[in-house]
Amino acid sequence: MKPLQRRTFVKAMALAGGAAATRPAFGATLGGLADGATGASRQSRLDHTKSLTLVHSDLHNHSLPSGDADGDPRDALRQLRRAGLDVACMTEHAVSGGYGVGDHVCSKWQNGGCRFITGIDDNDWKLMAKIADDAYEPGKFVAFRGFEFSTPTIGHISVFFGKDFTDPLHEGALVTGSEVAEAYRVFPPLEPLSPIFKALPNTAEITPFYEWLTTAPGTGLLGGGADAIASFNHPGYFGNFQDFLYHHKAAKQIFLIEAFNAITFDGGESHDATDYFWYGRDSKLPQPFNACFNAGWKVGFSGVSDEHSGTFGQTGKGRGGLYVKYLTREGVRRAIMTRRTFGTREAGLRVDATANGVPMGSHLAHRGKPLTIKLDIDRGPKWVGRKLWVQVVGPGKDDPRLLDVFPIRVPGAGSPVISFDAKPRGDWLFLRICDPARKNDPLGHAPFEDSTYGGAVAYASPWFFRD
Ligand SMILES: [Zn+2]
Ligand SMILES: [Zn+2]
């Protein structure tokens, strides 16, 4: 089949959108701005093929089947669409409810749910497919099924597009003293025992999950996730994947890391997503992006809400940017796999970047040599001329290294794309975009964050260098 031209693609969507009055049309600009303002156009100025369309995603949310969240999953997807998201996944928790266990310990979420997390069971998993299918409208709104592998101490991983699911109980990831010590957070009656268990050695491992993830679906009792792709969620919150222990096979299926996630927002008036650049720094955890990329994982950035409240797609919570050829499940999957992605907490924002013409998220045979970086950034008419800072970030030992920083003004459509030279050091490099109008992260500090730069507004996925 001949690929659709972008113009035809957008036009077809606009026409089709008009047919369903209750469902928002897929607009030529990004939606969801709180004040009804116009967001960025969906076309990157760095896409010379004119074949890509920018969509905003929220790939991490919870509703009643998770056991610790409110909201009907059908309504959640409707709300996300109304909030200007083009792509959404309900990643209900999988903790210990797999293969019948959940049936015995937890009342059905349809009957009001339960307040303890056992997560989804087999019946939920089947129903989640139907709910995603019902919400899916190719060309206009992409919904698909996923689950969040949710452990108390090893980390959380969202798994998308797979036929099977699994959970930590069945992958040997719920067995250690320190996990039982944290378990009161999901099983409150255990709280008095927490200090005793905290002292026990920590031997739970992520590897059995990676082995499940890389096993063919339908294999044995627990199936497998080799047909799925995955994301590292909120690094440092409930674990950092055993310090990002590298797994060669799983690395071919994990494509994203959350830069922004709102579950740990600061609790004040702002419900803004937390900037995971800083999360956990007060507890001496290594900087997560630096640790992740240095361990060898090649993942792009995303932003998510991780909503549990029943009100989905809230402004200021995380969003991801994906460049799709087609707004279909397969198109979204491929877009994630290119890693030409960004994470933001700004509705309506477009970010794209190339280094010597190579898109963000790609490999580049150019280690250590100077690069010409082009940055495409737009958030509609209101942001033209706005002053932002672009930080060029490379690898360091415990912290990443600030290689350079540039002031920019967001260009209008008639002005040239932002361009500057950068000198990479080490195996990767990414762009961190800061806004002086955003408040600093409570844990943020120099050289990356101060009142001059303000808080981060977006992360553009890294380039990965090879010789
Ligand atoms: Zn989580
Ligand atoms: Zn979650």
pLDDT tens string 147-163 = 999 887 889 999 999 99
**Ligand 2 centroid from CA 148, angstroms:** 6
**Ligand 1 centroid from CA 233, angstroms:** 6
Q: Is 50 exceeded by the pLDDT of residue 117?
A: yes
List of residues 6+ apart from 54 with CB closer than 8 A: 30, 40, 42, 43, 44, 321, 322, 323, 324, 350, 352
Please name the residue that has the structure tokens 């087999």. Answer: 122
SS (H, E, C) 406-434: EEEECCCCCCCCEEEEECCCCCEEEEEEE
Three-class DSSP category at 252? helix
Average pLDDT on 349-358 reads 97
Residue of higher predicted confidence among 25 and 280:
280
**Ligand 2 centroid from CA 157, angstroms:** 9
Q: Check residue 359 and give its pLDDT.
A: 98
Q: Check residue 207 and give its pLDDT.
A: 92
Q: Which ligand is nearest to the CA of 304?
A: 2
CA distance linking residue 402 with residue 415, whole number of Å? 28
**Ligand 1 centroid from CA 65, angstroms:** 14
**Ligand 2 centroid from CA 150, angstroms:** 8
Q: Which DSSP category does 249 fall into?
A: T
**Ligand 1 centroid from CA 103, angstroms:** 22
Q: Is 90 exceeded by the pLDDT of residue 205?
A: no
Residue 133: Cβ-neighbour burial (10 angstroms; 0-12, 13-18, 19+): exposed
Average pLDDT on 118-142 reads 92
Average pLDDT on 454-467 reads 95
**Ligand 1 centroid from CA 48, angstroms:** 37
Please name the residue that has the structure tokens 């597009």. Answer: 161
Q: Which of 10-14, 127-131, 161-165 has the lowest mean pLDDT?
A: 10-14
**Ligand 2 centroid from CA 420, angstroms:** 37
One-letter amino acid of 236: G
Q: Which of 56-60, 163-167, 457-461 has the lowest mean pLDDT?
A: 163-167
Cα–Cα separations (whole angstroms), residue 58 to 104, 122, 146, 159: 32, 24, 12, 14
Residues whose CB is under 5 A from ligand 1 (ion)?
Answer: 156, 233
Residue of higher predicted confidence among 331 and 208:
331
Q: Is 60 exceeded by the pLDDT of residue 15?
A: no
Q: Check residue 192 and give its pLDDT.
A: 60
Phi-psi region of 117 (alpha: psi -120 to 50; beta: other; left: phi over 0): beta
Q: Check residue 179 and give its pLDDT.
A: 60
Domains of the chain: 27-350 (3.20.20.140)
Is the Cα dihedral 74, 75, 79, 80 positive or negative? negative
**Ligand 2 centroid from CA 177, angstroms:** 23
Average pLDDT on 112-138 reads 82
Average pLDDT on 296-318 reads 95
Q: Which ligand is nearest to the CA of 151?
A: 1
**Ligand 1 centroid from CA 215, angstroms:** 23
Asked whether 77 and 135 are in contact (CB, 8 A), the reply is: yes
CA distance linking residue 429 with residue 184, whole number of Å? 39
Q: Is 70 exceeded by the pLDDT of residue 334?
A: yes
**Ligand 1 centroid from CA 389, angstroms:** 30
Percent of the chain scored above 90 by pLDDT? Answer: 69
Residue of higher predicted confidence among 70 and 2:
70
**Ligand 1 centroid from CA 239, angstroms:** 10
Q: Is 60 exceeded by the pLDDT of residue 189?
A: no
Confidence of residue 36 (pLDDT cuts 50, 70, 90): confident
Size of the chain in residues: 467
Pairing of strands 418-422, 371-378: antiparallel
Q: Is 50 exceeded by the pLDDT of residue 284?
A: yes
pLDDT tens string 385-443 = 999 999 999 999 999 999 999 999 999 989 999 999 999 999 999 999 999 999 999 99
**Ligand 1 centroid from CA 150, angstroms:** 6
Percent of the chain scored above 70 by pLDDT? Answer: 82
Is the Cα dihedral 391, 324, 76, 14 positive or negative? positive
Q: Check residue 14 and give its pLDDT.
A: 39
**Ligand 1 centroid from CA 380, angstroms:** 32
Q: Is 60 exceeded by the pLDDT of residue 199?
A: no
CA distance linking residue 367 with residue 255, whole number of Å? 22
Residue 242: Cβ-neighbour burial (10 angstroms; 0-12, 13-18, 19+): middle
Residues whose CB is under 5 A from ligand 2 (ion)?
Answer: 148, 306
**Ligand 1 centroid from CA 106, angstroms:** 20
Q: Is 80 exceeded by the pLDDT of residue 193?
A: no
Asked whether 146 and 124 are in contact (CB, 8 A), the reply is: no
**Ligand 1 centroid from CA 151, angstroms:** 8
**Ligand 1 centroid from CA 432, angstroms:** 24
Three-class DSSP category at 401? strand
Can you give the C-alpha Rg of the chain in angstroms? 21
**Ligand 1 centroid from CA 454, angstroms:** 27
**Ligand 1 centroid from CA 160, angstroms:** 14
**Ligand 2 centroid from CA 91, angstroms:** 7
CA distance linking residue 392 with residue 401, whole number of Å? 9
Pairing of strands 229-233, 254-261: parallel
Q: Is 90 exceeded by the pLDDT of residue 212?
A: yes
Q: Is 50 exceeded by the pLDDT of residue 5?
A: no
Cross-strand pairs, 29: 41
Phi-psi region of 253 (alpha: psi -120 to 50; beta: other; left: phi over 0): alpha
Q: Is 70 exceeded by the pLDDT of residue 178?
A: no
Q: Which DSSP category does 277 fall into?
A: T
Cross-strand pairs, 435: 455
**Ligand 1 centroid from CA 298, angstroms:** 21
**Ligand 1 centroid from CA 56, angstroms:** 20
**Ligand 2 centroid from CA 73, angstroms:** 14
Q: Is 60 exceeded by the pLDDT of residue 112?
A: no
Q: What's the chain's average pLDDT?
A: 87
